Structures are given as structure tokens and as C-alpha cells.
Amino acid sequence: MLTAIRYEPGTLYLLDQRVLPAEERWLALATASEVAEAIRCMVVRGAPAIAIAAGYGLALAARRGSDLDEAARTLVAARPTAVNLRWGVDRVRQARDIEAAARDLHDDDLRVNLALGEHGATLLDGGVLTICNTGALATGGHGTALGMVRSAIAHGRDIHLYACETRPWFQGARLTAWECAQDRIRCTLVADGAAASVLASGRARAVVVGCDRVARNGDTANKLGTLNLAVIARHFGVPLYVAMPWSSYDPATATGRDIIVEERDPAELGGYQHGPVDAWNPAFDVTPAELVSAWVTETGVVRVLGEG
Ligand code: MRU
């Protein structure tokens, strides 16, 4: 199975997602602050994957006899939006055996994704539109939204994935397309601006996305562009499914307005260097709960009342 995270006592190996698919480069990390920096600069990304990497970051700190609370603070501060990061760090920090807890977090994530995929598989058939990368690269394996696609295919569903390229980091064009090629999942890459046309033309009959934090009321933070998909999905009467491991649900956050949306360096925006203009580069957006047809979890499918 495709994996982007490997741990050996004292060393964390991460597949550098900044250079995929051109290069399959593994980085070897030895300290929690190196792991925090790898999370910040997107060597590893995707909410479950950054939690797993951070768990191993704590394991590295424990081996070196470093201050675990300080390591935990540094890791949690690496990216603000995905609640999985804090959840994973807290879970490992509280354990008596830090290294075993980090490994458990990793193993559990794969189990969660396989269960989530089973619950979601029956919802998908035919064309499916997605954004970002929510597959094995973004998790401990299998994936969440892409895991639903994998499970649906395993159940014999005739799935054709439409992957938004996902600017400015191109997680769709570089990572989802790469994973689909590896697993022979039928995938057509589209420019982000083509999403409405994919639905208008009937090419896709469902939208499936991941999430970084779901507030108590169901408002859902995910990769920038998800809100666009939610609005057009509602317009065209197409369901929007959010693949949500319970580790992404944050009852402590009341609504989407309370979610901190990461703003990244404007220099990441292509073209920014071509003129002296201002630029705004939020990495995520928040989709109101009423635009979500269902949240697919490892324990079952949660629907909005009245959605049937
Ligand atoms: O900035 P990224 O690449 O970390 O954003 C990732 C996403 O938005 C994913 O949809 C989300 O983390 C779920 S990954 C299973």
C-alpha cells in the first residue's frame, strides 16, 4: 500500500510532497522541530498525515530526552486549521509510552479510513468530483474522500474521478493524479474553474471532499475551493459528501466563524511575482453545514435533518 510516512526508532522518513510526482524523494528527520518545519512547509500535508507526523515528532523528542511540552507546542503551532494536529499531539503526549502511542495513531488512522471508505462506498457511482488530495499521501493509508472512491471501486462501482488541480499547491494535479495513476483509478484532471462545467455537463453526479476541521454545528473547513464546489453542487442538485474521520470533528469550536483559516505566503500564488499587486492566500475555506449533504465517518453516515 502507498505510504508517505515511515518511522524507525530515532528517525522519521517523509516522502517529500513538494516535489512529487517529478521526484520521489524521502527526507530523514531526527527532531520535533524538524518535523514541525516539514509540516509548515508542506513536505507532509493533509490533516490526518500531519497528525501522524507530529505524533512521531513527539516520539523523536522523547528518544532525545527533549522537553515534551515544548515539542508538543511547536508541533501544534505548525499549521492552525486542521484540528487533527492538536488531537494527535494530545493523544500521544498523554501516553506513557510515547513511541508506541505514535505508532498506534498511525495504525488506527488506516483502520479508520478503511471503515470510513466502507460506509461511503455505497454513496458513489459514476462520475465523482473532488478537490485537493485526500488519499494515502494525506493519511496513514487508503485516504478519506479518495478512500471512499477506492472502496467504491473495490465494491465494483464504475467510478470516474474528476480531480480539481487545486491551486496554488496543485495537490490535485500533482498528488491525486499520481495516486490515481499508481492505483489505476480512472481520473480526469480539470482546472479549478472547470468544476461548474463538470457538474453542468453531468460528468459528475456527486462531489466528495475531505476536511480539516468540522465545527460543532457542521460548518466544514477544507481546502480552498471546497466552498465553490459546495455552492455549485447545490445549484446543480448534486450531493456534497464530506469524508470526516471523527478526529476532524471539533465540538469545542461552535461554528465555522470560529475556525482559524491558515493564510500562507502570497508568494505561493503563481503570477504574484509578475506585478506589484497585493495578494491574499487563504489555504482553506469554510462551507456552511447547510450545503453539506452528509458527513461520512468511520462509524457511519451523518446527514443533515431533512436531507433524506
Ligand atoms: O493544505 P493541505 O494540502 O494540507 O490541505 C489538505 C486538505 O484540505 C484535505 O482535504 C484535508 O486535510 C483532508 S486530507 C484526508
Ligand 1 pocket residue status of 84, Cβ below 6 Å = no
Is the predicted pLDDT of residue 272 greater than 60, yes or no?
A: no
Ligand 1 pocket residue status of 44, Cβ below 6 Å = no
- Which CATH number describes the domain made up of 5-111? 1.20.120.420
Backbone phi, psi, residue 50, to 5°? -70, -30
Ligand 1 pocket residue status of 144, Cβ below 6 Å = yes
Q: What is the average pLDDT value for the chain, to the nearest integer?
A: 96
Q: Which residue has the cell 522518513?
A: 13
Is the predicted pLDDT of residue 45 greater than 90, yes or no?
A: yes
Is the predicted pLDDT of residue 41 greater than 50, yes or no?
A: yes
The predicted structure's pLDDT at residue 278: 81
The predicted structure's pLDDT at residue 308: 43
In the annotation, is 212 catalytic?
A: yes
- Residues 165, 295, 72: CA angle, nearest 5 degrees: 75
Is the predicted pLDDT of residue 211 greater than 80, yes or no?
A: yes
Is the predicted pLDDT of residue 261 greater than 90, yes or no?
A: yes
Q: Which three cell numbers stand for residue 306?
A: 431533512
Q: Which three cell numbers stand for residue 121?
A: 462506498
The residue from 212, 219, 250, 285 that is catalytic is 212
Mutate to test the pocket of ligand 1, among 42, 45, 84, 166 (most ligand atoms within 8 A of CB): 45
Tell which atom from ligand 1 comes closest to the C-alpha of 222: 8
pLDDT, average across residues 22-45: 98
For residue 65, report the distance from its CA to the centre of ligand 1, in Å: 32
285 three-class SS? strand
Q: In this predicted model, what pLDDT tens digit does every residue of 285-303 receive, in sequence order?
A: 999 999 999 999 999 999 9
| Residue nearest atom 8 of ligand 1, based on CA coordinates | 223
Q: Do the strands 301-303 and 5-8 form a parallel or antiparallel pair, or are they unpaired?
A: unpaired
In the sheet with 284-287, reading across from the earlier edge strand, the strands are: 249-250, 213-215, 220-223, 284-287
Measure Cα distances from 67 to 40, 64, 126, 154 in Å: 20, 9, 51, 45
Ligand 1 pocket residue status of 210, Cβ below 6 Å = yes
CA distance 203 to 52: 35
For residue 64, report the distance from its CA to the centre of ligand 1, in Å: 30
Where along the chain do its domains lie?
Answer: 5-111, 118-302
For residue 139, report the distance from its CA to the centre of ligand 1, in Å: 9
Q: Which residue has the cell 458527513?
A: 295
Tell which atom from ligand 1 comes closest to the C-alpha of 171: 3
Ligand 1 pocket residue status of 46, Cβ below 6 Å = yes
Is the predicted pLDDT of residue 167 greater than 90, yes or no?
A: yes
Ligand 1 pocket residue status of 139, Cβ below 6 Å = yes
Q: How crowded is residue 108: how many other Cβ atoms within 10 Å of its Cβ?
A: 18
Q: In this predicted model, what pLDDT tens digit does every residue of 219-230 receive, in sequence order?
A: 999 999 999 999
CA distance 85 to 54: 7
Ligand 1 pocket residue status of 222, Cβ below 6 Å = yes
- pLDDT band for position 270 (50/70/90)? confident
| Cβ burial, residue 69 (10 Å; 0-12/13-18/19+) | exposed
- pLDDT band for position 271 (50/70/90)? low
Looking at domain 118-302, what is its CATH homologous superfamily?
Translation initiation factor eif-2b; domain 2 (3.40.50.10470)
Write the DSSP string, 114-144.
HHHHHHHHTT--EEEEE-S--SGGGSSSS-S
Q: How crowded is residue 191: how many other Cβ atoms within 10 Å of its Cβ?
A: 12
Q: In this predicted model, what pLDDT tens digit does every residue of 64-78 receive, in sequence order?
A: 999 999 999 999 999
Q: In this predicted model, what pLDDT tens digit does every residue of 89-128 receive, in sequence order?
A: 999 999 999 999 999 999 999 999 999 999 999 999 999 9
The one-letter code for the residue type at 100 is A
Is the predicted pLDDT of residue 305 greater than 70, yes or no?
A: no
